[in-house]
Amino acid sequence: MGNKYPENPVIEGSQRDPTQSYPPTVLRVDGTYFCITKTETNDLVGFVSEDGVNWQEENKHVLKRSAAGWDQKKVTLPLLRYDPDLSIYHLYYAGHLPTGNVAVGYANSGEPLKGYQKVSDNPICEPSDLNEELNNSSEFDRIIVSDLVKTNGEFVFYGTAKSTSGKSIIWTANGSDWTDIGDFSVLLSSSELDQIGGGPLLQSPSVILLDGTYVMQFTSGVNATVLNERQLYVAFGKSQDEFTLVPEALLEPGPETSWDERRVYAAQWLKQQDGRYLQPEMVNGKIRLYYSGHDLGHHNATSWQNKLHHPSIGTCRNVEQQSLLKLIARYCLTRVRRYGSVVFDYNRGYTGLAEFPPEELRKQFDQTQ
């Protein structure tokens, strides 16, 4: 489902790092597109475009890691929103602590790709906040904000949390302002993905409103260096806090040797920056989705290396099967590095574009009725 742009990836690396430009957050303000992604240096870089397809790097230092402190290891998974009333850009990001824990950071600026100031009370949301409200003790150690909308003046946040055991959830929370995130509730858990053949890893929910129906796309899959590791799925709801899953994948990885053969994930709808952040930004009658794509090599891998498939996300949901896949992948990649032949650059990731006619999404919605 969905049509990938034929000249993908639309953003392929940056001046700081030619191998990475993902995951993307994209918006359009006054006819100009702005995009922020992470690079291999674990900082955020910015791009600008007039059509959302042809991009130019604008600023290689949109947001940096702190020299010391809670986000000194990595800043990634950006979410950018524009307040049309105050002409302020709001940037959320995932900050990685040296311990491996992940919390939510926030910065704002009067310009889309520079001048961001982190607030003094960062991180604005920590795993302990979620654990306390859900009575989960210290189960979740990673929390990420992936989307926000406004309804009747109230902020509604969407995000994910992950535990050390591999369990993931998609959550929603309410707030009175840009940094007030609380009153958590669980929308989806990894165990519920069994019915659609997904995996234990959930990432990056993003919500739009289409003909009175809420449409949430999200990532599901596993964390292993194999083909078809993660895909995008979709769920529909009559309210913004209750959704029904669709078994068919919304967007799948590309064929072997393609730039997104390993996984597609961490996607965001292109949405109108009208202060509500629910309506899709229609371009030539289609809804745009920007996503991350990863490969397993240099697009020319041959022979047995290309046969390292993820047999089916639906068949490797339990921990034992996931562990086995990881061991197989690690063994094969070690042999490739040791003995030459094809060298897998499995950390290479870029930004792609997919477009969806509204009627295609409506057709999927009909499957849930």
Tens-digit pLDDT profile for residues 182-199: 999 999 998 888 777 778
Residue 4: per-residue pLDDT: 96
| pLDDT bucket at 309, cuts 50 / 70 / 90 | very low
**Residue 344: helix, strand or coil by DSSP?**
coil
Q: How many helices (H) and strands (E) does the chain have?
A: 3, 21
Question: Token digits for 94?
Answer: 């995932």
Q: Which domain holds residue 328?
A: 3-366
* Structural Rg of the chain based on CA atoms: 19
Contact predicate 214/237, CB 8 Å? yes
Residue 212: per-residue pLDDT: 94
- 117's CB contacts (< 8 A; 6+ apart) are 107, 108, 109
Q: Which of 15-24, 33-42, 248-257 has the lowest mean pLDDT?
A: 15-24
Q: What is the mean pLDDT of the chain?
A: 85
Residue 331: per-residue pLDDT: 41
| Number of domains observed in the structure of the chain | 1
77 compared with 326, residue with greater pLDDT: 77
What CA–CA distance (Å, rounded) separates 80 from 90?
A: 6
104 compared with 364, residue with greater pLDDT: 104
Q: What percent of the chain has pLDDT over 70?
A: 85
- pTM of the entire predicted model: 0.87
Of 113, 110, 106, which Cα lies nearest the Cα of 55? Answer: 113
| pLDDT bucket at 285, cuts 50 / 70 / 90 | very high
Q: Across residues 293-310, what is the average pLDDT?
A: 50
Report whether pLDDT(133) > 80. Answer: yes
Question: Token digits for 19?
Answer: 């191998």
Tens-digit pLDDT profile for residues 47-64: 999 999 999 999 888 999
What CA–CA distance (Å, rounded) separates 197 from 12?
A: 31
Report whether pLDDT(343) > 50. Answer: no
Report whether pLDDT(328) > 90. Answer: no
For residue 305, the domain's CATH number is 2.115.10.20
